[in-house]
Amino acid sequence: MEAVVLAGGLGTRLRSVVPDLPKPMAPVAGRPFLEILLDRLAATGFERVVLSVGYRHEVIEAHFGPRHRHLELVYAVERQPLGTGGGLALALAKTRAAAVFVFNGDTYLELDPAAMLQAHVAAGARLTLAAVAMADVSRYGALEIVEERVTGFAEKGRQGPGWINGGVSLLDPALVLDAGLTPPWSLETDLLMPRLAEIRPLAYRTRGRFIDIGVPEDYVRAQRLLADL
């Protein structure tokens, strides 16, 4: 299996607790968060990872180099702002697999990638989103799911239980590479939302451990939640 990890975040909201580091390198339980994520990928069947990097990419490259454990690491460096879609396209151009996982570099989600891939192939999906059950979706916004297909995205602020995007997707690289959009462009706003009815993303439901370290309070919570990894 092959993955892209989106590791180019500025980490602006974390500056008060983690100054001058790319967000995925923020220390969690004594080591960079990205190291925890790559360890998880190595343990769950991945062999090759393309790291989509930008801000202070040299810090990431110096720490990991070309390999981590048995993982081959390839770097796609965003030299100018390309947007979420343009940055992902740059990374996907370096991939080889027919279906590629995409992980947010500031999110940890426990799931079974092989089972997600099996569901993706069985459904004939071009895009599968990992959906995580939450007691209150107000901070994240919710996925609207009908017969295991994502039909819409609810705005942030709606309270109550539901399913959110867990920061892991599985896709046919051509979906992004052949989009024909000029950078900078947004994956969600410029591709996914306008073509949602055509793409019909599959929802892969999971209740695994989930944390997004992008805001200070959850970054602090991650120190406890991920301490055993």
pTM: 0.95
**Count of structural domains, the chain:** 1
Whether the ω angle into residue 184 lies within 30 degrees of 0, i.e. cis, is: yes
pLDDT at res. 55: 86
pLDDT at res. 188: 92
Distance between terminal CA atoms of the chain? Answer: 22
Coil, strand or helix at 221 = helix
The answer to whether the Cα torsion of 42, 107, 119, 192 is positive or negative is negative
pLDDT at res. 12: 65
Q: Report which of 92, 100, 104, 52 is spatially closest to residue 76, judged by C-alpha positions.
A: 52
pLDDT at res. 86: 95
pLDDT at res. 73: 98
CATH number reported for the structural domain that contains residue 68 in this entry: 3.90.550.10
Q: Report which of 12, 9, 50 is spatially closest to residue 33, judged by C-alpha positions.
A: 9
Range of the domain at 122: 2-225
Report the C-alpha gap between 28 and 227 in whole angstroms.
8
- Fill in the DSSP letter of residue 38: H
pLDDT along the chain (229 residues), means of 10: 89 66 89 96 98 93 97 96 94 98 95 97 98 92 96 87 96 97 94 96 95 88 93
Contact 99, 172 (CB under 8 A): yes
Q: Report which of 65, 61, 67, 70 is spatially closest to residue 24, judged by C-alpha positions.
A: 61
